[in-house]
Amino acid sequence: MLSAVKRFLIGRPLKSAALGEQKLNKLKALAILSSDALSSVAYGTEQILLVLVTVSTVAFWYSLPIAVGVLFLLTALILSYRQIIFSYPHGGGAYVVSKENLGVNAGLIAGGSLLVDYILTVAVSVSAGTDAITSAFPKLHDHTILIAIILVIFITLLNLRGVTESASILAYPVYLFVIALFVLIGVGGFKILTGQVSPELHPTLGTPVAGITLFLLLRAFASGCSALTGVEAISNAIPNFKDPAPNNAAKTLILMGSLLAILFSGITFLAYYYGIKPSPTETVVSQIANQTFGRNVMYYFIQGTTALILVLAANTGYSAFPLLAYNLAKDKYIPRMFTMRGDRLGYSNGILTLGVASIILIIAFKGETEQLIPLYAVGVFIPFTLSQSGMIVKWFREKPKGWGYKFIINFVGALISFTVMMIFFITKFTQVWSVLLFLPIIVYCFHRINRHYESVGEQLRLKAGEPAVLIEGNVIIVPVAGITQVVENSINYAKSLTDQVIAVYVSFDREDEKLFEQKWKSWQPDVRLVTLHSHYRSIIQPLTKFIDTVEHKAAESNYWVTVLIPQFIPKKSWHNILHNQSSILIRAFLLYKRKVVVATVPYHFQK
State which of positions 484-523 bind a second copy (CB under 8 A).
484-486, 488-489, 492-493, 495-498, 508-509
User: Which region, judged by CB under 8 A, interacts with a second copy, from 50-58, 65-73, 202-210, 536-544?
Assistant: 536-544
Is residue 167 within 8 A of residue 363, CB to CB? The reply is: no
Does 363 sit near a second copy (CB under 8 A)? no
322: Cβ contacts below 8 Å, ≥ 6 apart: 338, 346, 347, 348, 349, 350, 351, 354
How near is the Cβ of 578 to a second copy at its closest, in Å?
Answer: 5
Residues 3-42 that bind a second copy (CB under 8 A): 13-17
Does 454 sit near a second copy (CB under 8 A)? no
SS3 531: strand
How near is the Cβ of 340 to a second copy at its closest, in Å?
Answer: 7
Does 135 sit near a second copy (CB under 8 A)? no
Q: Which of 455, 512, 514, 552 binds a second copy (CB under 8 A)?
A: 455
Does 535 sit near a second copy (CB under 8 A)? yes
CB nearer a second copy, residue 69 or residue 111: 111
How near is the Cβ of 483 to a second copy at its closest, in Å?
Answer: 7
How near is the Cβ of 499 to a second copy at its closest, in Å?
Answer: 12
521: Cβ contacts below 8 Å, ≥ 6 apart: 529
Is residue 156 within 8 A of residue 322, CB to CB? The reply is: no
C-beta neighbour count of 531 within 10 angstroms:
18
CB nearer a second copy, residue 163 or residue 256: 163
How near is the Cβ of 347 to a second copy at its closest, in Å?
Answer: 11
| Separation of alpha carbons 444 and 442, rounded Å | 5
Residues 309-338 that bind a second copy (CB under 8 A): 335-337
Q: Which of 1, 468, 511, 556 binds a second copy (CB under 8 A)?
A: 468
358: Cβ contacts below 8 Å, ≥ 6 apart: 119, 122, 123, 126, 152, 314, 317
Local structure of residue 593 (DSSP, 8 states): H
- Going from the C-alpha of 313 to that of each of 38, 92, 147, 321, the distances in angstroms are 8, 20, 16, 13
# of chain residues touching a second copy (CB under 8 A): 73
3-state class percentages of the chain: helix first, strand second, coil last, to nearest 5: 70, 5, 20
CB nearer a second copy, residue 60 or residue 333: 333
User: Which region, judged by CB under 8 A, interacts with a second copy, from 200-208, 217-225, 267-275, 593-601?
Assistant: 593-601
Handedness of CA 363, 364, 368, 374 (dihedral sign): negative
C-beta pairs of 261-264 under 8 Å, 24+ apart in sequence: 261/71, 261/74, 261/75, 262/182, 262/185, 263/38, 263/41, 263/178, 263/181, 263/182, 263/185, 264/40, 264/41, 264/44, 264/45, 264/67, 264/70, 264/71, 264/74, 264/227
Does 587 sit near a second copy (CB under 8 A)? yes
CB nearer a second copy, residue 297 or residue 471: 471
What amino acid is encoded at 399 in this protein? K
CB nearer a second copy, residue 16 or residue 213: 16
How many Å separate Cα 172 from the centre of its chain? 25
Nearest by Cα to 236 from 22, 53, 387, 420: 387
| Separation of alpha carbons 545 and 556, rounded Å | 18
390 to 429: interface string for a second copy, x by CB under 8 A: ----------------------------------------
- Going from the C-alpha of 53 to that of each of 44, 63, 271, 336, the distances in angstroms are 15, 11, 13, 50
CB nearer a second copy, residue 137 or residue 592: 592
Nearest by Cα to 528 from 563, 546, 489, 502: 502
Does 580 sit near a second copy (CB under 8 A)? yes
User: Which region, judged by CB under 8 A, interacts with a second copy, from 187-195, 214-222, 232-240, 450-458?
Assistant: 450-458
CB nearer a second copy, residue 194 or residue 496: 496
CB nearer a second copy, residue 44 or residue 322: 322
Nearest by Cα to 280 from 545, 579, 46: 46
Does 537 sit near a second copy (CB under 8 A)? yes
To the nearest 10°, report the CA torsion of 186, 190, 193, 196: -130
Nearest by Cα to 219 from 414, 420, 518, 418: 420
How near is the Cβ of 474 to a second copy at its closest, in Å?
Answer: 6
92 to 131: interface string for a second copy, x by CB under 8 A: ----------------------------------------
CB nearer a second copy, residue 247 or residue 582: 582
The secondary structure of 284-344 as a DSSP string is HHHHHHHHHH-SSHHHHHHHHHHHHHHHHHHHHHHHHHHHHHHHHHHTTSS-GGGG---TT
Q: Which of 200, 206, 397, 472 binds a second copy (CB under 8 A)?
A: 472
CB nearer a second copy, residue 255 or residue 486: 486
CB nearer a second copy, residue 142 or residue 454: 454
Q: Which of 444, 473, 549, 555 binds a second copy (CB under 8 A)?
A: 473
CB nearer a second copy, residue 112 or residue 266: 112
Does 585 sit near a second copy (CB under 8 A)? no
Does 290 sit near a second copy (CB under 8 A)? no
| Separation of alpha carbons 546 and 561, rounded Å | 12
Query: Could you give the angle at the alpha carbon of 445 between the alpha carbons of 444 and 448, nearest 5°?
Result: 90
| Separation of alpha carbons 101 and 103, rounded Å | 6
Does 366 sit near a second copy (CB under 8 A)? no
Does 557 sit near a second copy (CB under 8 A)? no
How near is the Cβ of 455 to a second copy at its closest, in Å?
Answer: 5
Does 461 sit near a second copy (CB under 8 A)? yes
Number of residues that make up the chain? 607
Does 560 sit near a second copy (CB under 8 A)? yes
Does 569 sit near a second copy (CB under 8 A)? yes
How many Å separate Cα 299 from the centre of its chain? 36
Does 605 sit near a second copy (CB under 8 A)? yes
CB nearer a second copy, residue 371 or residue 455: 455
CB nearer a second copy, residue 1 or residue 17: 17
Q: What is the largest CA-CA distance in the chain?
A: 112
CB nearer a second copy, residue 256 or residue 334: 334
Q: Which of 474, 513, 517, 540 binds a second copy (CB under 8 A)?
A: 474
For the chain, how far is it from start to end, CA to CA, in angstroms?
A: 21
